[in-house]
Amino acid sequence: MNSPDRHAAFDLTGQVVLITGGGTGLGFGMARCMVAAGARVVLVGRRNAELQRACATLGPHAFALTGDVKRLDTAVAVLDRAEELAGPVTVLINNAGVHLKKPAVETTDAEFAAVLETHVFGAFALTREAGRRMTVCRRGCVVFTASMTALFGMPLVVAYSAAKAAYVGMVQALATEWGPHGVRVNAIAPGWIASAMLDQALAADPARKAKILSRISLGGFGEPDDIGWAAVYLASPAGKYINGIVLPVDGGAASGF
């Protein structure tokens, strides 16, 4: 038996990773780690300038592709264009999303539908088209960015929670359906990750910050690269026997008390 090669286990050389919402935040963190692991990345988003700045930072293995996941009829064109830029997509990361913080009784039908339109319908349209191609090639990996809200209850985010919980069902169904065709489907559930947005949200609410930190057994907020390296693991040969799971990357918050 050959000795394990830790470099080969996490090597993504030759892989093409399409990341929605990849220009900033967690999407950019995942893109940075994917490039470091040897992959080419295609960043999809609505704001071209943002994507171009991200690609300039990431280097020649990153490509910008302007698109809106809510335009469901463009999924085929997005995959076609990604192939033109970088080659056939072997890893899809569904990361684009919108947030709505509002009491449930004040959340309108239109607001609820808008959140599901981006997270659920948009992600499914791209995943369906990517899966169509991956299953023919008998290789590929899909990763959904889920959330702690899919694992335990949080107030004021009913639409977001419903959307992220839908990811859990999609992951399990697609993993079962596509696994026999060589395509793995998983999700990452990020915890509280340090960012300018998180700082802004908690700056004026020290009690909430203290409550959040009290749940996290590791005692601090995560970093975007924590999510990025988890995504690399799921996409890499090291994760080749991982299928149909939701992986919390949260410092222990989901198991906190």
Q: Is 160 a catalytic residue?
A: yes
Closest CA to 134 of 89, 97, 169, 100: 89
- Under a CB-based contact definition with an 8 Å cutoff, are residues 163 and 169 in contact? no
Helix (H) or strand (E) holding 93: strand 91-94
From the list 160, 167, 233, 241, the catalytic residue is 160
Q: What single string gives the DSSP state of each residue in 145-214?
A: E--GGGTS--TTBHHHHHHHHHHHHHHHHHHHHHGGGTEEEEEEEE--B--HHHHHHHHT-HHHHHHHHH
Number of Cβ within 10 Å of residue 88's Cβ equals: 15
CB 42 within 8 A of CB 61: no
- Residue 35 CA to residue 17 CA, distance in Å, equals 9
Q: What tokens does 113 get?
A: 């539908």
Q: If you search the block for the tokens 């539908």, which residue do you land on?
A: 113
Pairing assessment for the beta strands 40-45 and 62-66 based on DSSP bridges: parallel
Residue type, 55: C
Q: Tell me which residues are annotated as active site.
A: 160
